[in-house]
Every structure is written in structure tokens, then in C-alpha cells.
Amino acid sequence: MKKINKYFSIFKVSVRDRLAYPLELLYANIFILLITFVMSQIWVVIYAEHPEKLIAGFSLGAMIWYVFMTELILTSQPQIILTLGEEIKSGNVAYVLTKPYSFMAYYFYFSFGRTIVTMLVKVLFGVAILSWFVTLANVTFLSILATIIAVILALVLNFMIAGCISLLAFWLEDVHSMRFIYQKIVFIFGGLLFPIDIYPEFLRKIIHYLPFEGILYGPAKTLVNFDLAYWQILVAKQSVWILAFIIIIKIVYAQGIKKINLNGG
Amino acid sequence: MRKVLKKLISMVVKEIIFVWNYLQYNVISAMEFRFNFFSQAFFMIINDGLFLLIWYFFFSRFGDLNGFGFLEMMALWIFGAGGFGLVNAIFGNANNLGKIISNGELDFYFTFPKNHLLHALVSRTDLSAWGDLLFALIAFVIFFPINVYSVAMLIFGIVSGAFILLSFYILIGALSFWLGRNEVLNDSLFHAFLAFSTNPSSVFQGVVKFIIFFIIPAGFATFLPAELLQTFSLAKFVYVVIFSVFFFLLALFVYNRGLKKYSSGNLINVRS
């Protein structure tokens, strides 16, 4: 119980920290609405040339909401690789060794607090504005609940993978470059701008064996085209990947922490 | 008149030499961490390439968008990545200008005899930006014919695009004089510039087109240079030149107006 209280306190501090600058939270909506608008312009042109008004099972409205959802998930999380990588590179991780909490757990709750606040503000403003222009059909209480669960698991999964990459800072001089690649892998394999259904067959097959579908495509598809059977598989996959990455983090962290040299002072 | 002109030219030459010297110093500093420098530049090339791969899948599936295909997208990215790379390689602090102002860190640059804004902008190089610049050159060599015209347009487009982006950085950075801490707004406006400059230009019409050209001027930075690379148009060429100069002067005007509102952060210190 004490353990839960400890990390819940970190979560609360993080939420309060994020709420300290309310204007920044509002500004954060600009980009997500703008990129949704840019992509919607592209899709309007494409759909105009498709008389069946359905591409890969997505209507125009669903496609626009899909982009909003993927951007919402991606842009609400802080820069995990940069933050953790910097803590390791600067040696600050050593100070945590003397404290009664886990380094990774601390950043997990801290990142989650910030993410939840940012995401809620974006949902409030973004959904209100986007709904004004584009109607999302077939939304039910069940599909929203399923989306919330899938989004939470997606955020956890993204943290675990990014956290795993940031631990490489124990061995590498810098993990900035890893961040670029990870971002782009999530963009492509996660289906950031376009649903993975439009990719070539061979690529879709590969994507199904990777965890990135569970970060963006899965939750976004759940909202716009809810399918209970797909959702069950998605949640199972997300959970398995999360467990796998927790184990990897534990192993890599245990190895990495041995690389720390303390010089006193 | 001749005296004034001579003085002006001598001043510009001096500033160019200053920027060149600083650039050399920044590169030598970056070379201290060779692996870091090369890996960031290398991975940025891969990063840009992967982004274009998504668009390759898109155009393969849907074909052209109002006459805008993968080659047009390549041209857009050459100027988007090239302009961004050039600015951030030389003026690596441009992206941090808002933060420097709101933290009162301009004080440090006031203590030097050089132009404080120029000094602040050049005092850092963004390692990954070199990768963007290199990506632009590689993409150009692979996808476009190399001749005097195309190389001239490449240089013209990258330099003018860099000039516009630098002016945009100064403008959004200067907002901090009035708004104080506004990193998120700064970041959002910058990403808006990036989003507009690297997405198919053919889908934007009406008011949006006006915004892309005159509010967040990605149109002048990438759309027109990309069109010029494929077909020459004197009118478009002149528009880009005039706009680049006008926008730069506007950015300096706004910055100088904002400077009057600057309050010191009491941060005068010596860099080691």
C-alpha cells in the first residue's frame, strides 16, 4: 500500500506540474488540430476520386478522426527517450540509487501524470472543435470504453519501448539519434498519418508481428471502426508486449547500472 | 551615398566572416564527440528517408493528388530538409531564441561587441541538421537531373528557404518579449511551418493557401522553390526573392520592437 501511495504522489506532483502553465496546455492544441486539418485536406481530394466513399473500410469522417486519434496519442506523451537518456548520461541516475524508489517507475508515473493532463485537455478542445466539422458515426458507449482501455495500454507500451531504448544511454554516448529512428518506426509501423491497411500486403504482415500497431493504429481504429474481435486481440497483444518489455527493461537496467562509476563529492 | 554603401557592404562582410568563424568553431566542438555527431547526422538521413517511404506507399496506392506525385513530394522535401538543415546547422540556436529571451539569457550576448542577435543565433550548431542538409543533397542527386539550372535552383531554393525559416524563427522567438515563457506556442508554430512545408501543396486552396503563403510562409520556403526546380518561372523566382527580403526585414523590425520590452535576467556570466 505504501508503495502505491509513493508512486501515486509522484503522479500527483506531475499532474500539478503540468497544470501550472494552463496557457501552454491550450497552445498544445494548435499543432494537433493543424495536422489533422492538413491530412483532412489530402483525404478530401482522395475521397473525391473514390465514388464508393470507403477506403480500406474507412469513411472520410473516420479517416479524419483516425489521424486526430493517432496524433493525440503521439503528441500527448513527453519526450521519454530524451529525458531518461539525459538522466543516465548526466549521471543523475546514480542519485536515485540511494532513494527508496525505482528509477524507471518514478519516470513512468511522472510521464503518465503529464500525459493524462495533456491528453484530457486535447480531448476536451480537440474533440469539441473537430466534432463541429466532422461527425464520427457509430460511436457507442462500448466503443469509447474500449478505446480508453486501448489508449491507456498504448501509452504504457510506448513508455516501455521508449524506456528500453533510453537505457541504451548506459552504453552509448548519446541516444538522440535512436529517438529519431524510433519515432519514424512508430510513424510507419504504427500508422501515424495513414492506417496500415493502405500499406502493401507484405508490410502489413510484418507489422502484425510488431508492437507498434498497438501504439497508434489499434486504439485509433477501435474508436473509428470498432470491432470487438479485433479489440480483444489488440488488448491481448498490447498486454503481452508490455510484459515482454518490462522484463527486458529489468534485465537491461540491471546490466546498465553496473556501468555507473561513483567518484564521491 | 557611396560612403554609406561601402560601410554597409563592409559591415555585411564582417558579419559573414564572423558567422563563418563561429561555424568552424562549432564544427570543431562537435567533432570532439565524433560518434555523437556522425550518428545524429546519419540517423537523420535515415529518418527523412523513412518519412518519404510512407509517402511512397501513399502515392503508390492512390496516385497523384491534383497532379502532385512522389517526385513533387521529393522536391518539397529537398527544400524542406535542406532549408531546415542549413538554418539549424549554422544558426543552431534559432530554435531556442524564445527560451533565451524568456529566461533573460540575452544578457550574456549584450556583453560582446558583436551584434547580439546574430551572436545568439550562431552560438550553437544542431548536429542532426547536418543530416537534413545532406539528405537534401542525396535526394537531389538521386531524383533530379544534375545540370547548371537544377544546381542553381537547388542552391537558390535552399538558401531562400533557410532565410525564410530563420526569419520565422526570429519572429516566433520574439513573441517571448510580450508573452514570456511560451515554448509550447513556439513549438506549435514551428511544427505548423514544418507540416505545411512538407505536405502536398496541391490540396490547399483558398484561405488556407493565403495562410500558407503569408501567415506561416511555408509556401515561399518550399512550394515555389520546388516548382522552380522543375520549371522556371521568372515571376515565381522574383516573388521568392522579394518575400525572403521583406520577411527578414519584418522579423528584424518585430524583434527590435520587442527588445524594448526585454527585462534583464541578471544572468551575466562567463562561458567556460
Whole-number pLDDT of residue A262 = 62
Q: What is the pLDDT of residues B183-208, one digit of tens each?
A: 888 888 898 898 888 888 888 888 88
Q: How confident is the model at residue A261 (pLDDT cuts 50, 70, 90)?
A: low
* Residue B151 pLDDT greater than 60, yes or no: yes
Interacting residues of B226 by C-beta distance below 8 A, sequence separation 6+: B72, B75, B76, B78, B79, B157, B201
The residue type of B127 is L
The string over B30-65, giving b where at least 16 C-beta atoms fall within 10 Å of a residue's C-beta and e elsewhere, is beeeeebbbbbbbbbbebbebbbebbebbbeebeeb
Angle between helices B127-143 and B148-179 (to 10 degrees): 150
Supply the pLDDT for residue B272. Answer: 44
Q: Rounded to an integer, what distance in angstroms lies between the CA atom of residue A50 and that of residue A52?
A: 6
Which of B42, B185, B195 lies nearest to residue A27, judging by beta carbons? Answer: B185
What is the pLDDT averaged over residues A4-15? 83
Domain residue spans of chain A: 2-259
Our CA-based measurement puts residue B53 at a distance from the nearest CA of chain A, in whole angstroms, of 8
Alpha-carbon gap, residue B82 to B90, rounded angstroms = 12
> pLDDT value at position B135?
94
Cα angle, residue A98 at apex, residues A94 and A99 outer, rounded to 5°: 110
Q: Which three cell numbers stand for residue A90?
A: 548526466
Number of Cβ atoms within 10 Å of the Cβ of A246: 15
Residues facing residue B68 across a β-bridge: B65
Taking CB atoms and an 8 Å cutoff, what residues of chain A touch B203?
A: 41-42, 44-45
Are A44 and B66 within 8 A, CB to CB? no
- The model's pLDDT over B90-116, given as tens digits with 9 standing for 90+, comes to 999 999 999 999 888 888 888 888 889
Residue A113 reports pLDDT greater than 50: yes
Examine the pLDDT at A154 and tell me if it is beyond 90.
yes
- Among A92-101, A142-151, B241-250, name the one with the lowest average pLDDT: A92-101
| Closest Cα in chain A, distance from residue B232 (Å) | 26
Best residue of A45, A70, A165, A175 to probe chain B, by most B CBs closer than 10 Å? A45
Where do the structural domains in chain B lie, given as residue ranges?
33-259
Q: What is the largest CA-CA distance in chain A?
A: 72
- Going from the C-alpha of A126 to that of each of A115, B124, B188, the distances in angstroms are 15, 36, 15
Confidence band for B163, pLDDT divided at 50, 70 and 90: very high
User: So what's the pLDDT on residue A2?
Assistant: 66
CB A176 within 8 A of CB B40: yes
Is residue A16 within 8 Å of A114, Cβ to Cβ?
Answer: no
Q: Is the complex ipTM more than 0.90? A: no
Query: Is the pLDDT reported for residue A101 higher than 70?
Result: yes
Mean pLDDT calculated for residue range A232-256: 95
pLDDT band at B164 (very low <50, low <70, confident <90, very high): very high
